[in-house]
Amino acid sequence: MSGAAIRFDGQISVYDLRRDDSPCYHCLFPEGEDVEEVRCAVMGVFAPLTGIIGTMQAAEALKLAAGIGEALTGRLLLLDALTMEWRTVRFKKDDDCAVCGPKGNVRSGEYLRQAGADRESSSAACRLA
């Protein structure tokens, strides 16, 4: 599950790797892509937006834990807090994904070890959960 907020823009998605057809975070945001890095400390964030996105993450987590409803797997929700309009972007598993594809290493746990993760917790583990 991932959620993000910067300035007036928020986003949320779910990556359920228990499902064979589920894309992972890396399928959506491959490393090496030319993405402008923005930081909350520099760009600021509209404070209520973090609550909106965080509460939605909690709702998705509870749905997954209870096995109810339809998770946001394969859908990225984007919120423009200035207009309070949501957009949905659908995406699929990348068959050549370096993380969850046939040559990937997420299932063996190697990705998490490479990311410096441990069994206790890590942001990488959260992104992949």
Site residues (CB under 5 A) for Zn ion?
24, 26-27, 97, 99-100
Residue of minimal CB distance from Zn ion?
97
Provide the minimum distance between the beta carbon of 17 and Zn ion in the complex, in angstroms, as a whole number.
9
- Give the DSSP H/E element, type plus range, for residue 107: none
Q: Closest CB to Zn ion among 27 and 53?
A: 27
- Provide the β-strand partners of residue 9: 6, 80
Nearest residue (CB) to Zn ion, 50 versus 105: 105
Burial zone of 122 (CB within 10 Å; 0-12 exposed, 13-18 middle, 19+ buried) = middle
Residues 48 and 82: their CA atoms lie apart, in Å, by 12
Give whichever of 67 and 102 is closer to Zn ion, judged by the CB atom: 102
- Work out how close the CB of 104 gets to Zn ion at its nearest, in angstroms, rounded to a whole number: 6
